A and B are shown apart, each in its own frame.
Chain A
């Protein structure tokens, strides 16, 4: 069985899992409600996508055999998982019922930007590692 092509892999691994975000933005726009990206992603939802992508990439590369770049794949996946944990922890603690002192929206905005950048970086690195390992 031949490995999937890059567009097919991106569609099933990235576009479909992330489709609720633009769809929610579209629905909010249709209902004329304010749907900021920070409100959609401020609770660290994308951290799970990043963790899942890096874990599945690591699993695929390990199953493929023992490529020379396995250490790099492991280091990259662990880095993404640690950052995902930090992003998700900050998001959850930010929404805990504590006295916010006006800092909550700033944390939410930064968390949403960080999780968005993390999702993009994870997708790029997953594609890179899969191409290097001959999986795409």
Chain B
């Protein structure tokens, strides 16, 4: 009787080696950081008189920070 052994790719594993999911995480982190940076920048420009150009700076900073967080993000193992 043939033994039904599971293939290695069918086993539950972390998604560390899936470049597409990592890229999706990067995009999600960067866009979320961008949105948060814009929101904080708009709030700062509304509240502080000398912070008129805060939204674009907040956007760039938030994107950079969010991209780094997205790259470093690790998903939990599936099905384990």
Binding site for B on A (CB under 8 A): 69, 72-73, 75-76, 79, 83, 86-87, 89-90, 93-94, 99, 101-103, 106-107, 110-111, 113-115, 117-118, 120-121, 124-125, 128-129
Contacts and interface: CB of A to CB of B under 8 A. Distances in A.
B48 to A, nearest CB: 16
B23 A72 contact: no
B27 A87 contact: yes
> What 10 pairs across the A-B complex have the smallest Cβ distances?
A114-B27, A110-B24, A117-B31, A72-B56, A114-B28, A114-B31, A118-B31, A107-B24, A110-B28, A90-B23
Is chain B's interface secondary structure helix, strand, loop, or mixed overall? helix
Contacts, number: 89
Interface of B: 9-10, 15, 18, 20-21, 23-28, 30-32, 34-35, 38, 42, 53, 55-57, 59-60, 63, 75, 78
Given A69-B56, A83-B31, A90-B23, 19 more contacts: A72-B56, A73-B56, A75-B60, A79-B60, A83-B27, A83-B63, A86-B23, A90-B24, A93-B20, A103-B18, A103-B20, A103-B21, A106-B21, A110-B25, A114-B24, A114-B31, A117-B31, A118-B34, A121-B31
